[in-house]
Amino acid sequence: MNKTNERLKVHALTDMKHLKVHGRTTGCLAPLTLFWTGSAVEINARGTELWMEVEVEYDTYEPWISILVNSAHVSRQMLTAGRYWLCVFRGMSGDAIKNVQIIKDVQAMSADSGCCLQIHAVKGDGEFLPVAEKPYKLEFIGDSITSGEGAVGARAETDWISMWFSAIDNYSTMTAAALNADYRIISQSGWGVLTSWDNNPRCNLPDYYEQVCGVLTGEKNEALGATDAHDFNSWQPDVVVVNLGTNDWGAFHSPAWTDEATGRIYKQRLKEDGACHEEDLKAFEHAVERFLAKLRHNNPQAHIVWAYGMLGIPMMPAIYRAANAYAQRTGDRKVSIFQLPSTNDETVGARRHPGRKAHEKAAQELSEYIKGLL
């Protein structure tokens, strides 16, 4: 073991010239905090052996990671609390260049202010080479579907735990791979455009879109820069894909939410005949319009695609109305709507969410559509 230690050289991330970081970050590499689903480090490495030093904290929801070597998914594992070294690969041919991606599988856990995954350094017995930029950049914004919740695990699973989240068995990652694109994911289970599934108006993605990872709470996350303004000039997507609306529909069928601080009650209402109350549906449409305007302001050249339908399409007419109203008001012709294939009994996964087959089907159709835009 001592000979192995002598052979392996430690490289702080700040000293690595050829390191590619995926996902929104603050730019800090000492250490690098991975906030969102699909956030990752990518390295091209020679050598027989490679390790990574991680630091992990959580109160309830532990992080999980996946490791890809030459685009093959070779490892998926839970990370327990502490600071320690993880082996990425051993015993490989020293001369061959290995493309390595270490990817965060779990979403930013807004319900666990203690959940944190950081990378300090890598060590190996070879050299590191440049990682090429891909021709396109895609940004995906969504809820549990885009977080890959239920994409792994048996259909019988109902527990809400980190184990069932996946950034790999995920239509976002699959779509990016099909288009040879780099990608980022901004997603939160249960959240919507206007409210969350339980009518909480604070749990909407648009309010936090302009921050690095503003959905996170607590002093530590604030100190790490999660609530800092995101630098949009640092990474401009060619296409922004929004997959929201599923939880806004759920709010119509869930009990009211009461703000304990103010006593105000929030509820998306159904009429006696089961139809959505017009006033509440209009509020949803206005939220869609506002978000489209915010997306365009921050991504002036991107195609914006509202992709919806993996768990049904009840909000589709309202999304169409909102998008049309936005386009007529602004003259923006780079906004479109795409209906994703619905999950069925054969493609459903854990927690009654889309399984891997559903994500594959969605990625196949969405990537063909985006190819036409690009």
d(CA 39, CA 184): 7
Please report the pLDDT score of residue 143 as a whole number.
98
b vs e for 64-78, b when ≥16 Cβ sit within 10 Å of the residue's Cβ? bbbbbbeeeeeebee
Average pLDDT for residues 87-115, to the nearest whole number?
A: 97
Q: How many CA atoms lie within 13 A of 351 on its CB side?
A: 19
Residue 13: the pLDDT is: 97
Find out whether 129 and 327 touch, Cβ atoms under 8 Å: no
Instruction: Tell me whether strands 116-124 and 9-12 are parallel, antiparallel or unpaired.
Output: antiparallel
Tokens of residue 186, six digits: 């901004």
**Helix, strand or coil, per DSSP, at residue 319:** helix
Token pair, residue 28, equals 């800090």
pLDDT digits (tens, 9 = 90+) for 30-68: 999 999 999 999 999 999 999 999 999 999 999 999 999
Structural domains in the chain, sorted by start: 2-129 (2.60.120.260), 136-373 (3.40.50.1110)
Instruction: Say if residue 199's pLDDT is above 50.
Output: yes
Picking from 319, 177, 299, 156, the residue whose alpha carbon sits closest to that of residue 245 is 319
The pTM for the full model equals 0.97
- Residue 1: predicted pLDDT: 46
The chain-wide mean pLDDT, for the chain, equals: 97
Which tokens go with 197? 């599934």
6 — pLDDT class (breaks 50, 70, 90): confident
DSSP state string for 186-253: EE-TT-BSSS-TT--TT-BGGGGTTBSSTT--SHHHHHTTTTSBP-GGG---SEEEEE--HHHHHHHT
Quick check: 3 pLDDT over 90?
Answer: no
